[in-house]
Structure 1
Amino acid sequence: MMMRMFKKGIVFIVSILFVLLTACNNNQAKTSSSDESNENGKEVVTIKVQTFGSEKTRLENLEDSAKKLNQELEAEGKNIEVKLETNAFDGSWEEYRKQFILAYKSKNEPDIYLTGHEDIAWLAKGNYILHLDELKDSEAYSDVYPTLWESVTWDGHIWGALQDTEARPIFYRKDVLKKLGWTDEEIESLPEKVKNGEFTVEDMTRVAKEAKDAGLVEWGILHRPVNGSELHMIAKNFGAELYDEKVDKLVFNKEAILETLRYFESLTQKEGVTPESITSMEWKNVHQMMIDGKALFWYGGIWNVFNYMEQGAEFDDIMKNFGFMLVPATEKGGKPMTLSHPFVHTVSSQTEHPELVIRLLELVAAPEYQAKHSVETFHLPINKSGADVEEFKNDEFLSTVTYMLDYTTFLPNHADFNKYADAYFKAIQSVELGKKTPEEALADMEVQLQNDLGDEIIVK
């Protein structure tokens, strides 16, 4: 027994020594990043960059910007050379966030951390990142679409440098509407009618039912099969507030959420234009229904064009058969909408070179970089000058949906929004499956929110 305890003690001490040595090495790596010198005798400053996803242009644009920054520093007579140490993470969002926190605690985190705008609240609250208020007055960001600043604002400060954005339109099959008896002029003018509030959500449901009853499609309206932004977009369209920025609390707007749940019930249980089991389907199957013309309307995102192409659809066929419009208003004469999920660059509060990092982020906002990234990844530029680049203007698809940024909204920047989202998704599922009435689902959702969020939720 004593020997076993002795061995355990030795293992424990060795483990502690290993952790301490690792931390020391990490700290040395962090603090010695600017102690190197290149062959020209210049001080080498290493800036660590962490991105998410497979979009190569996010890193390529930063690397090109670093070259420009070095040219500027040389012209200024500075004896400094910036070197990027980059990493593109390919995994789950949960692991991505955990990885950053662990790296930060060991002082080995990236200087620039790319993430979704909704992470800003917990990053700022935890003092992980610097506020970047100066960017709003920077010439590099002077023509950013004004609404996008909302997505990076928390507690009265700007916390992220906008990297890209997108929109979530309604996709519709033009060929199905043609078979339904619509003229070419009526089909092509539909996005404008939506903009003017002449074509509403109720009209969309009516047309979807007509197409289904006529046997032209299997389903009239589809939405995402898993928890996510488009479902909250629908709630916001019915008037849900979701968040009170002044007190930094989430909002459970009961009347608006009830109307939203009644809408989902109508789609599945009453009008029958949406499969009641859609939340148990796979993404590829939902996409395939739109590709094959088996559904008329789709609450989607502009990047879904890329998804369709991955599943074998030809770009020319997509442009021929699909139209794209804003989410129609719920009332005649109302304002349509969409929702965006910008990716943003955040800056570590422990960075040793904030001025160089800021200059790098100003350079990467250049119009040509915005256009290149948008065209290659089916995103939208953050600034109007990016949308004016010929490469972008010549894109048949993206150039026709950029106007949607004038109608966009965002998810709340609140650290516990995922808890709200989980309760809301459960309510939608129960209503669409016919297991609960909207009223019952609403009541259960309220109980769950109060249990999970306590004082962090305002019930209205």
Structure 2
Amino acid sequence: MKGWKRALSVLVLFLVWGSLVLAVENITLRAYVIGPGPMGIKKATNLELAAQRLNQMLEAIGSEIRVQVDVNFSELKWSPFADKFYLDFAAGKAPDIVTLRETAELAKGGFIVPMDEHVEQFWAMNYFDFYPNLWEGATWNGKIWGIPHDISPTGVWYRRDVLRKLGYSDEEIDRLLPPDGDTTLETLARLAQEAVKAGLVEYGILHRPSKGPGIYNMLLAFGAECYDPSADTLVFNESALLNFYRWHKSMVEAGVIPPEPPSWSTIHSTFVAGKTFATLASHIGTPAEWKAKYGLTDESLYHDLGFMPFPPTENAKKRGVKPSSVHDFPLYFVTSQSKHPELAKLLIMFATSSEACAIHSRYTLRPPYRRSAMYLLSDVEYIQKTAASVESVRPVPVHPKFWDYMDRVFEALKGVEAGVVNPEQAVEDLKMWFLAEVENGRLL
């Protein structure tokens, strides 16, 4: 209670100080928000809602200040969206707030300001019930740099109805592919191959057509840890990476994975239509997009589809590797070019309230990032069933070179699957890049 009162006092003092010192009546804050795609729109509209809530408090204390927010929402992919931000920053035209995922790169380059003092000040008022593991994905070099506003644990979606056509009962399906992922990647692959050979599906397994958290999750399934947080250094696990590439090559040869990953629209549409057995390209909230764009029904979602974390390979499981889900934790950042950074932080605080969190979750079917929002989502059956997945999700490494590393891993994967390069050469080429480009990287 004392912590909450202290936070409220800080907020009131800030607002009163602003009303006495600042001569302006209207302050406009600019924000760049990425979906990517249309489903992330609530991350943008929640900033607009936050301005309304902040202005209500300003009015209540008699302040003449009013906050307006100009939000530029983009459905672009990550790279072109980031390019626009960096170009605008170079021109001195960066927004006050931006949503990106390259925390370490942004912090190291001086593009954003720390948020740890703000989080500490308003912990008891707003941030106390964020899931603790989310802060790990917001922290670099001992400081908190952004505020979580979304969570979408990766995993494996598969077609239960296809398995029924192969003769498996629901009890057998739950034993082979349990919701907690306590199985093996080989079991998933064997079932996918059965579905392909029976002519029930066009694709056995599809993965992302680009780098992303799902690729990192696949590496973890092979025991290829890529980051040592204790030393803040990237790791190159040669044997695990070789197994990763060899497995994908064998899956292409078996007709389970295509030699070239199809487009996102093909991945989503064929899975919803039952023409793909399993997709490794999606996350727990993807059904919202499938319902909005590809005709998925609630009946099919609950009866025909299954979801689980990424299972380890048989060898990795013997070594103690567990099923895993990851998330890349895009955050609300305040840029270093903001003329009103403290006001921007307050806007973000209101944009991540329990109310705002529940609005985002209800629209996207993604789990809430804070516990209190669950009370506002009691009528959303899907979220009630899947919310627990947040507590065990792992953040992708917060390191300046991590996404470059994943880009190289994925480009090599495309070459292996296309038959342009063999697994051994792919690993050797990747190793040469790692040694040349990753400072203090560790080889295993």
2:165 is aligned with what amino acid? K
TM-score, length of structure 1 as denominator length = 0.81
Which of residues 42, 46, 63 is equivalent to 1:57?
A: 42
2:402 is aligned with what amino acid? F
Task: Give the whole-Å Cα distance in 2 for the aligned partners of 1:400 and 1:360.
Answer: 31
Match of 1:215 in 2: 199
Match of 1:427 in 2: 412
Residue 442 of structure 1: how far off its partner (Å): 1.0
Seen in structure 2, the aligned counterparts of structure 1 residues 265 and 69 have a Cα distance that, compared at 3 Å, is: same
Match of 1:265 in 2: 249
% identical aligned pairs: 34
Deviations 1:185-218 (A, max 9, x none): 3335666x35273x22222122223333333334
Is 1:48 aligned with 2:33?
A: no
Is 1:121 aligned with 2:104?
A: yes
Contact 2:97–2:344 (CA<8 Å) still a contact in 1? Answer: yes
Contact 1:131–1:159 (CA<8 Å) still a contact in 2? Answer: yes
Task: Give the whole-Å Cα distance in 2 for the aligned partners of 1:303 and 1:287.
Answer: 13
Task: Give the whole-Å Cα distance in 2 for the aligned partners of 1:171 and 1:164.
Answer: 20
- SS state of the match for residue 240, structure 1? coil
Residue 36 of structure 1: how far off its partner (Å): 6.6
Deviates further, 226-235 or 71-80: 71-80
Deviations 1:394-420 (A, max 9, x none): 333333222222232232223333432
Which of residues 177, 181, 185 is equivalent to 2:171?
A: 185
- SS state of the match for residue 56, structure 1? helix
Q: Which runs of 5+ in 2 are unaligned?
A: 1-20
2:330 is aligned with what amino acid? F
Contact 2:30–2:96 (CA<8 Å) still a contact in 1? Answer: yes
Match of 1:443 in 2: 428
Contact 1:235–1:260 (CA<8 Å) still a contact in 2? Answer: yes
- SS state of the match for residue 381, structure 2? coil
Contact 1:136–1:142 (CA<8 Å) still a contact in 2? Answer: no
1:115 is aligned with what amino acid? L
Task: Give the whole-Å Cα distance in 2 for the aligned partners of 1:458 and 1:237.
Answer: 20
Residue 259 of structure 1: how far off its partner (Å): 2.1
Seen in structure 2, the aligned counterparts of structure 1 residues 223 and 100 have a Cα distance that, compared at 3 Å, is: closer
- Larger-Rg structure: 1
Deviations 1:206-240 (A, max 9, x none): 22233333333343322123333211210022222
Contact 1:165–1:342 (CA<8 Å) still a contact in 2? Answer: yes
2:347 is aligned with what amino acid? L
Match of 1:170 in 2: 156
Residue 426 of structure 1: how far off its partner (Å): 2.7
Task: Give the whole-Å Cα distance in 2 for the aligned partners of 1:105 and 1:274.
Answer: 42
Which of residues 312, 327, 335 is equivalent to 2:322?
A: 335
Residue 120 of structure 1: how far off its partner (Å): 1.2
Contact 1:336–1:407 (CA<8 Å) still a contact in 2? Answer: no
Residue 247 of structure 1: how far off its partner (Å): 4.5
Match of 2:11 in 1: none
Match of 2:369 in 1: 382
Which of residues 282, 287, 299 is equivalent to 2:268?
A: 287
Which of residues 97, 100, 107 is equivalent to 1:112?
A: 97
Seen in structure 2, the aligned counterparts of structure 1 residues 96 and 293 have a Cα distance that, compared at 3 Å, is: closer
Task: Give the whole-Å Cα distance in 2 for the aligned partners of 1:244 and 1:135.
Answer: 28
Which of residues 65, 71, 74 is equivalent to 1:80?
A: 65
Match of 1:347 in 2: 334
Residue 105 of structure 1: how far off its partner (Å): 4.1
Task: Give the whole-Å Cα distance in 1 for the aligned partners of 2:210 and 2:83.
Answer: 22
2:384 is aligned with what amino acid? S
- SS state of the match for residue 455, structure 1? coil
Task: Give the whole-Å Cα distance in 2 for the aligned partners of 1:223 and 1:165.
Answer: 20
Residue 311 of structure 1: how far off its partner (Å): 3.0
Task: Give the whole-Å Cα distance in 2 for the aligned partners of 1:251 and 1:347.
Answer: 30
2:247 is aligned with what amino acid? Y
Count of equivalent residues: 412
- SS state of the match for residue 58, structure 1? helix
Could you say what the CA RMSD is over the residues aligned between the two structures, in angstroms? 2.6
TM-score, length of structure 2 as denominator length = 0.84
Seen in structure 2, the aligned counterparts of structure 1 residues 278 and 288 have a Cα distance that, compared at 3 Å, is: farther
